[in-house]
Amino acid sequence: MKKILSFIPILFVLIANAQYEHEITEYVWPEDQKVLEKLEDWQDLKFGLLMHWGAYSQWGVVESWSICPEDYGWCERKKGSNPDDYFTYKKEYENLKLSFNPTGFNPENWAKAAKDAGMKYVVFTTKHHDGFCMFDSKYTDYKITSTESPFSSNPKANVAKEVFDAFRAEGLWAGAYFSKPDWHSEYYWDPKFPPFDRNVNYDPALYPEKWEKFVDFTQNQIMELMTDYGKIDILWLDGGWVSKKNMNDLNSVYSGKFSETPSGFLKGRIVNQDIRMDEIAAKAREKQPGLIVVDRAVRGPNQNYLTPENKVPEKQLPYPWESCIIAGGGWSWVPDAVFMTPKQSIHMLIDIVAKGGNLLYNIAPGPDGKWPEGAYDLLEAMGNWIDVNGEAIYSTRAIAPFKTNNICLTQQKDTKAVYALYLEEEDGSGLPSSFTIGGIEAAKNAKLSLLGTSGNLKWKNTKEGLKVEIPEKIRKSLPCDLAWAVKISAVK
């Protein structure tokens, strides 16, 4: 069985608007056979939905970060009666729960649109860094089901449960996003001290009893999700700075920071914040056997797949991974969001799948509980394309050379059939009468066909690669647009 693969730093992942940088240097394969099997199944799914949604959506601001007292653009405060006064702003931000009333919330609409688009799993923000719960946690009153929230009397007030139920009913996997830091909890940001940055605002080593209360609080909320919300397939944990650190970690980071800070002012700290992830994973899997745990940006056995954020790696990666990408606007809702074009989205999905990854596409509901119409239009276009070409996407694995110019390759893991996906050029010139697939050769007696059409294509192996001819009859009546998949029954 595979154990540990270590690599030189090959991937720098920049969270939207440069919120946080992850340096990935190793992957640790899980040893639980059920988790390995689940990961294999997850790699077949290829296309999922991520949703950031909370009380902050009423202001149309970046999720949570505006209450983080760090000097970065994404933390800028622009709303409220006095955005220059941090403490006034934070109070008004947290009071958004008093007016959050998304009466248009109908997750069945989202689930159907996601299914029709070809999405196979959903990851929903049960709690972001601000601590506002979109589920009915009994460990806090900072939640949408609080009696202070006008939506609490709505029969769909337990939003996370409604979302998971609706998506499972359409056959999708359920994934729970959960933030490890909680900027509302008195055990993380103690009200005795002003917050410094994104980290805990006291020293856990000096106040171990207080820190233990936060650990208990975190574990209790996660176990609520694992116990009371049906089958959960993925526990997607954010806030990688909440993790166990040793002295070598601290020395390494601070030596670099001091060399970059001539005044001695540190914009970001690193703090040992051990919430006992091994224990959390074990307890969660007692309730949800085979659960995939994604402890984002934390090296070790609890990061079952890697999550490059708003970025597609340049090369194929040799371990399970998923690019989480904003479909339009921001991670959270913003007014008048402009979405990617179908061409951009389909080409991106193909590029990611050819490199062995999954696409987790973020769509943000608005303060009224509805998606923008642009989201539905985009997903419909992607679904129309996947209806024709799905077999070149699902249950495939990467095959060298992965991508050459505008042609991507995938391979069915069982039949070993190879698919060459021709991405339309930017000039909109369509599918040419012939093209050459570099780096592969068809096997003797192989059959080639264009997905969505009948009959076989003419082909020949050349010094440059496999040359494929597309008859004029097919080109005049193509089964789809934007990208086309040629199935190759066998390669050398």
- pLDDT of 440 reads 96
Least confidently predicted of 6-10, 336-340, 360-364: 6-10
pLDDT tens per residue across span 4-26: 332 222 222 323 333 333 445 57
For residue 3, is pLDDT > 70? no
Amino acid residing at 488: I
- pLDDT of 253 reads 86
Confidence of residue 252 (pLDDT cuts 50, 70, 90): confident
pLDDT mean over 235-246: 96
For residue 129, is pLDDT > 50? yes
- pLDDT of 7 reads 29
pLDDT tens per residue across span 74-96: 999 999 999 999 999 999 999 99
- Compute the distance between CA of residue 404 and CA of residue 392 in angstroms, rounded to an integer: 17
For residue 300, is pLDDT > 80? yes
pLDDT mean over 138-151: 98
Amino acid residing at 300: G
Least confidently predicted of 308-317, 391-400, 418-427: 308-317
pLDDT tens per residue across span 166-221: 999 999 999 999 999 999 999 999 999 999 999 999 999 999 999 999 999 999 99
Q: What is the dihedral of CA 27, 168, 113, 322, to 10 degrees?
A: 0
Residues 6+ apart with CB under 8 A from 283: 219, 223, 226
Least confidently predicted of 24-33, 148-157, 245-254: 24-33
More confident residue, 253 or 40: 40
For residue 228, is pLDDT > 80? yes
For residue 334, is pLDDT > 60? yes
- Compute the distance between CA of residue 197 and CA of residue 176 in angstroms, rounded to an integer: 26
Q: What percent of the chain has pLDDT over 70?
A: 95
- pLDDT of 22 reads 43
- pLDDT of 21 reads 39
- pLDDT of 25 reads 53
pTM assigned to the model: 0.94
pLDDT mean over 221-238: 98
The phi, psi pair for 26, rounded to 5°, reads: -160, 160
- pLDDT of 1 reads 34
For residue 152, is pLDDT > 90? yes
More confident residue, 65 or 256: 65
